[in-house]
Structure 1
Amino acid sequence: MRCTQFAGRRAAAAASTLALATAVLGGTTAPAVAHGQVLTPASSHSQEEAAAEMLQPDPTSPTAYEFGETLAGLEGEELETTFLAEIIPRHRAAIEMAELELERGTSPDIRTHAENIIANQEHQIEQFTRWLEEWYGLTPEEAKAQALEEAQEEMKTLEEETRMMIEELAAVEAGEDFDVAFVQKMIPHHSSGIVEFLEPQARAPHAQLRVASTAGITTQQAQVADFRTWLAGRD
């Protein structure tokens, strides 16, 4: 019975994340995942030529979609603790990237976004860490250690991918090129976070977490849109 429910929720999550990716990422950057398979939208020759002429963000990690599907199979405490175990280090990584932007970037608009990312995500880290302790008596590390094996493997992959992203960004010299590299990497980082927020926004037992997830989606959607507009203007 649980397997059937789990499979059903995974299928629903795949549809939800694909729809959201199409809305947020313009339907061209984020791969959809269904039953573990990465699906790439078909594109015409003219679309490929247009994309080649534009600065593009890095692709969104397929593992983020897989983790979203995993969350769709969880309920109650297990849903909340697994989500919080992943989103807290994800926010820490975003802050690290934003701090690099403040050190090396030159665009006033992008630097302002970096400042907002630091403020918003530090606030959520404080909330989420406190809630884990108050509700379940767990640290983020303890929550990760008790997650399902599948979720742990996905979180490990996401952590490795994020660390590589930060290392690539840290290798870029200060100046306008750094602004571009930061935006190209922050778009998929935010997009992965949005995917992860979907299930707790809809089904977290605690109303506080549902509200915070909605705020996370709204804030990061707006920043993704601004980053895409800024990147398009660089052509």
Structure 2
Amino acid sequence: MRNTRTLTRRALLGAVAVTAALTLAACGGGSDSSGDAGSDSSASSSASAGNTAGATDGAHNAQDVTFAQGMIPHHRQALEMAALAADRASSAQVKDLASRVEKAQDPEIKTMSGWLTSWGEDVPAASDSAAESMPGMDHSAGSGMPGMMDGSDMDKLDKASGADFDTMFLTMMIEHHKGAVAMATTEKSKGGYEPATSMADDIITAQTAEISEMNKLLGKS
């Protein structure tokens, strides 16, 4: 009788042990499965975030294209004006200003040309900076690119020298800078490509300061 009870008790304990083991295994499997699912979900989320970042990084809009295609010839004309100062200006301050214009704007032309090429857009030809190739370009803010000099202005500057050149150069460059600032302000508010809006901000800061400098050289407040 005692043997029978002992055997029965052992059988029950064994069953309980097996049940417990199975329960723990099931819980463990659920934990692993949950962990894998969480890991997969996290990886998927990271990949998704990475893809989204990649899609928006470097994004540009039509305004960015307009800015680059307009500012390139605008800068080129400023370089043409600055190049004349080396032989024609009498003021060391004017020559220094012209040199700084060249050092700042030539690299910006190269950068903007690179953007347009990478976007599959046309890079303005060098001839597009010539006033005669852009009919209607004048001093008015209503022109396609404000501040651009026309052919007559450039001819006068080319023929001037000494103090007359200094005065003419400063007067024209102030107008030219104001046009660039206006174009950059539009880019800063409507552009979508961060490097372009950043360049626009730099142009506004640098050329606004140069406008003040040139006004002082002209004896204006």
Q: TM-score, normalised to structure 2's length? A: 0.61
Deviates more, 1:200-209 or 1:223-232: 200-209
Say if 2:146 and 2:180, in contact at 8 Å, map to a contact too: no
Deviation at 1:171, TM superposition (A): 2.2
Greater RCO, CA 8 A, separation 6+: 1
Say if 1:91 and 1:121, in contact at 8 Å, map to a contact too: yes
The number of aligned residues is 147
1:9-63 deviation line (CA, Å, top 9, x unaligned): xxxxxxxxxxxxxxxxxxxxxxxxxxxxxxxxxxxxxxxxxxxxxxxxxxxxxxx
Pair 1:215–1:157, CA change in 2 (3 A): closer
Identify the residue that residue 181 of structure 1 maps to in structure 2.
168
Deviation at 1:123, TM superposition (A): 0.9
How big is the alpha-carbon RMSD for the aligned residues of Structure 1 and Structure 2?
2.4
Pair 1:219–1:96, CA change in 2 (3 A): same
Q: 1:134 aligns with which of 98, 118, 126?
A: 118
Flag structure 2 segments of 5+ consecutive residues without an equivalent.
1-59, 129-136
Q: TM-score, normalised to structure 1's length? A: 0.57
Say if 1:80 and 1:204, in contact at 8 Å, map to a contact too: yes
Flag structure 1 segments of 5+ consecutive residues without an equivalent.
1-75, 145-151
Identify the residue that residue 155 of structure 1 maps to in structure 2.
144
Deviation at 1:157, TM superposition (A): 8.9
Structural mapping, 1:108-127, within 5 Å: 108-127=92-111
Deviates more, 1:81-90 or 1:131-140: 131-140
Residue 203 of structure 2 corresponds to residue 219 of structure 1 = no
Greater Rg by CA: 2
Letter in 2 for 1:195: A
Q: 2:66 aligns with which of 82, 102, 107?
A: 82
Misfit runs of 4+, over 4 Å = 156-159
Deviation at 1:184, TM superposition (A): 1.0
Q: 2:154 aligns with which of 156, 166, 176?
A: 166
Q: Provide the C-alpha distance between the structure 2 equivalents of 1:186 and 1:162, rounded to a whole number of angstroms.
A: 13
Identity of aligned residues (%): 24
